[in-house]
Amino acid sequence: MNEMADSKGRSLAMGKAYEEKHVHEVYQQIAQHFSTTRYKAYIGCGNGKYLAVNPNIFIVASDRSEALARIAAKHQPHSTIVADVLNLPHPYSFFDFAMSIAVVHHLSTRTRRVQAISEILQTLKVPNDTDQGGRALIYVWALEQKTSRRGWDKGDQQDVMVPWVMRGSSVAESAGHETQTFHRYYHLYEENELERDIQSAGGFVLESGYEKDNWWAIAVRAPENDESISATKLL
Amino acid sequence: MSLQKVLGKTMQLDDRKSSGEKTDRLRRSIDSATTIPNREVDDLCEAFVMRVITINFITCAVKACKASASSFPLHFQDVEVEQQEVHFEPAFIQNLLPRIDWTGLRTTAIELGFPTVPDIKPNNDTLDEPMLRDLHRLLLETQVVEGKLVCGNCGHEYSIKDGIANFLLPDHLGSSPSLET
């Protein structure tokens, strides 16, 4: 139970330091293994697999983990940088499209999650009368995944440590074939929580849903103090 | 809805100019660009590149700088530049052009000693093949392997190592709320 995250205790602790230990360090360690398995499993953030969907675009991919960014750079021709979702190095009101898969749920307080979403939204072009603005696609892990092998469901603890089991041979540094288990911090999103966080972050949800243990939403920046643009126009 | 569908639905681009054939050619060009020739590679340390185009989409990560015009573009310093051949795909450059901040690109080109960027952004009428080739060479083939990116507003330096630029900020510069509110 010590391994379980305690949202009350942590709310007073330093979220950043917590994530450093329980998210960033782990991803640095498991990056190689993570990437090889994830690459085939589904579309991962920044590894470039989704370029086949529409090659007619230029993408700047980023990851907090340098180890992962390096693997992403290997797989796609566009651009990969190391950056933190809370301090993205992109101009405001700039992109037509932003995508964040399995990132926001690694932030360990609601304030930080909302700020991450806000940071993503602010890179998007602002909607106006003639332009619907940039859109963001955000995926987070769902609390409601009763049929997954982890079996979490509604009402369960939302702040969890999720084990990542790695055979020793998968990491260059580790000798022998010992099994190593790493734990990553996740905040499991409950139904409607992603939409709430997007609203708090100054976003307007165009569409949202559930897919295979994840909640997803497509959002635009909500127009600020401009009554001439009604929310319905964005649709 | 599957992620592929969501992406297909959301990532609609201006396809008016792109015939299916062009799209195929673009896809081939992107595929070919993933393999950078003439470089010794090993399993993990393969051809990381910071293409010049990237810098046109990046600014200082410090929030206070983003409102300042002097934070864009970041300035290259002490760079080691390489030219790597990338399959020439005129349509890709053409589609990229409307997104380019031309003033920013000119600044970057001068810093890298790249002389052939015209004063005014070419449009579809003035864009000829030699110009497309020049742009292709600058945007995609010119790659910064080592060096620094410096913000013209706050002076913060971001390092580029092995072709990967690192924009993580030290604690005192980053915005990083810790407490639940």
Residue pLDDT, tens place only, A100-133: 888 899 999 999 999 999 999 999 989 888 777 8
**pLDDT at position B59, please?**
96
Expressed in angstroms, the distance from the first to the final Cα of chain B is: 34
**Among A51, A63, A57, residue whose Cα is nearest residue A88:** A63
More confident residue, B11 or A109: A109
Cβ-contact B150, B159 below 8 angstroms: no
* Alpha-carbon distance B124 to nearest alpha carbon in chain A (angstroms): 18
Classify residue B18: in a domain, yes or no: no
Structural domain that includes position B115: 49-147
Average the pLDDT over each of B9-23, B54-68, B148-162 and give the range with the smallest value: B9-23
Q: Where are the alpha helices (DSSP H) in chain A?
A: 7-12, 15-19, 25-41, 66-75, 110-122, 193-200, 231-234
What sign does the dihedral A108-A109-A115-A120 (CA atoms) show?
positive
As a whole number, the mean pLDDT across chain B is 75
State the total domains in chain B: 1
DSSP state of B141: I
Average the pLDDT over each of A82-96, A123-137, B41-55 and give the range with the smallest value: B41-55
**pLDDT at position A191, please?**
97
Helix, strand, coil % in chain A, rounded to nearest 5: 35, 25, 40
B64 at interface of A, judged by CB pairs closer than 8 A: no
Residue A99 pLDDT class (50, 70, 90 cuts): confident
* Alpha-carbon distance B86 to nearest alpha carbon in chain A (angstroms): 10
CATH of the domain at B102: 2.20.25.10
More confident residue, A155 or B29: A155
Q: What are phi and psi of B140, to 5 degrees?
A: -110, -35
Please report, as a single letter, which amino acid is at residue A6. D
The token pair that represents B131 in the structure block: 């110009």
**pLDDT at position A172, please?**
52
**pLDDT at position A177, please?**
63
B7 at interface of A, judged by CB pairs closer than 8 A: yes
Residue of chain A minimizing CA distance to B15: A56
Q: What is the pLDDT of residues A5-48, one digit of tens each?
A: 444 444 444 688 888 887 777 777 666 554 433 322 222 334 44
Whether the complex's predicted ipTM surpasses the cut of 0.85: no
Contacts of A23 in chain B (CB under 8 A): none
Classify residue B9: in a domain, yes or no: no
What's the average model confidence in pLDDT over A70-94? 77
Q: Among A58, A88, A111, select the one facing B177 at the smallest CB separation.
A: A111
Put simply, the answer to whether B164 touches A87 (Cβ < 8 Å) is: no
A109 at interface of B, judged by CB pairs closer than 8 A: yes
**pLDDT at position B29, please?**
37
Put simply, the answer to whether A74 touches B47 (Cβ < 8 Å) is: yes
In chain A, where the domains are located:
7-234
Range A7-234 classified under CATH 3.40.50.150: yes
